[in-house]
Amino acid sequence: MPGRHLPVAFRCALSGLWYALRTQRNMRIQVGIGLGVVAMGVWLRLTPDRWAILAVVSGLVLVSEMINTVVEGTVDLVCPDCHPLARTVKDVMAGAVLLSAIVAVVVGLLILGPPLWGQLMQRSGAQ
* pLDDT tens string 65-120: 999 999 999 999 999 888 899 999 999 999 999 999 999 999 999 999 999 998 88
Give CA–CA dist 58/101, Å, rounded: 8
pLDDT band at 20 (very low <50, low <70, confident <90, very high): very high
Amino acid (one-letter) located at 21? L
**Best CA proximity match to 74, nearest among 62, 92, 84, 89:** 89
Residue 122 is predicted with a pLDDT of 85
Q: 54 and 107 in contact (C-beta within 8 Å)?
A: yes
- pLDDT the model gives residue 3: 60
State how far the Cα of 111 lies from the Cα of 113, in Å rounded to an integer.
Answer: 6
pLDDT value at residue 81? 86
What's the pTM?
0.87
Q: What is the predicted pLDDT for the residue at 126?
A: 57
The per-residue pLDDT for 119 is: 87
What pLDDT score does 127 carry? 53
Q: Which residue among the candidates 57, 61, 65, 104 is catalytic per the annotation?
A: 65
65 is catalytic: yes
| Domain residue ranges of the chain, discontinuous segments joined by + | 2-126
List pLDDT tens digits, range 50-69: 999 999 999 999 999 999 99
Helix count and strand count (H, E) for the chain:
4, 0
CATH architecture of 2-126: Orthogonal Bundle (1.10)
